[in-house]
Structure 1
Amino acid sequence: MMITTDRQIQSLKPGERVYWQSVRSPHGGGLAIRVSTRGTRSWYVRYRHDGRQDAICIGHYPGMKLQAARDRHYEIRQLVADNLDPKRIQRQQKAANLEAWSMDQLFESYGDFWCTGGGRKGGVSC
């Protein structure tokens, strides 16, 4: 069964084992939804890079609707067409986000915000 509508995704029920359902996309094959034994539905894009098959999780349903998953699928297909590994790019972006703020920087910024009156009228004497 090929998934084509949001209602079909809503009707997917958990089973005894994890299962995958293919989702029709105007951008070609590879888009799928994975249903866990607890009922969690996750969007995946299956692709082939450097001769090996791989899959990347792009989000969870219902947080990411069908059209958004299809759009993200298109972006990933473009990366694969440009001979880039989407999973490597995702890891690099995640590492960059983790390096963006240290806890010291976060607390210092938060303290500066409150001491300059950003948190409430008149500010706090620091």
Structure 2
Amino acid sequence: MAGEKLLSDAACKRAKPKQNVYYLNDGGGLRLRVRSDGTKNWIQRVHLRNSEKSIGLGVYPNVSLVDARAKLRANRELIKVGENPVSVKRDRVQRQ
């Protein structure tokens, strides 16, 4: 994320819906998706098994920018050890 302009919470709050979906990039694969209905979702772009995937991290403002960055870091650690963050989360939910 070095050299990239990072998002601020104020920028996330100011993001207004447009006719089409658009994204605000935070760097390192973290994006805020802004839909035409005003819904804002955190998305993490990752490479898993030679393909690019998107992982949902939650709805803004329920999941803050700080929390989204923490989830991004946790998912990166799982990927480093060969785990799929989506599968890990699904397994954890099923055990509960």
- TM class by smaller structure: 0.7 to 0.9
Structure 1 residue 19 and structure 2 residue 22: aligned?
Answer: yes
Instruction: Encode CA deviations 1:14-57: one digit per residue, 9 max, x unaligned.
Output: 11111122114xxxx11111111111111111100110110111
**TM-score relative to the length of structure 2:** 0.87
Q: Work out the CA distance in 2 between the residues paired with 1:51 and 1:34.
A: 24
Matches for 1:83-122 after TM superposition, within 5 Å: 83-97=82-96
Q: Work out the CA distance in 1 between the residues paired with 2:7 and 2:22.
A: 17
Q: 8 Å contact 1:3–1:21 — kept in the other structure?
A: no
- Correspondence for 2:51: 52
Give the letter for the 1:17 counterpart: N
| 3 and 41 in structure 1: CA distance in 2 versus 1, 3 angstrom threshold | farther
Q: 1:2, CA displacement in angstroms?
A: 4.7
| 65 and 78 in structure 1: CA distance in 2 versus 1, 3 angstrom threshold | same
The alignment of Structure 1 onto Structure 2 pairs a total of residues equal to 93
SS at match of 1:10: helix
Instruction: Encode CA deviations 1:60-111: one digit per residue, 9 max, x unaligned.
Output: 11111111111111001111111111111122223333xxxxxxxxxxxxxx
Structure with more relative contact order (C-alpha pairs < 8 Å, separation 6 or more): 2
Q: Work out the CA distance in 2 between the residues paired with 1:90 and 1:82.
A: 15
Over the matched positions of the two proteins, sequence identity in percent amounts to 27
Unaligned runs of 5+ in 1: 98-126
**TM-score relative to the length of structure 1:** 0.68
- Correspondence for 2:69: 70
Alpha carbon RMSD of aligned pairs, Å?
1.6
Q: Which structure is larger by alpha-carbon Rg, 1 or 2?
A: 1
Structure having the larger proportion of residues in helix? 1
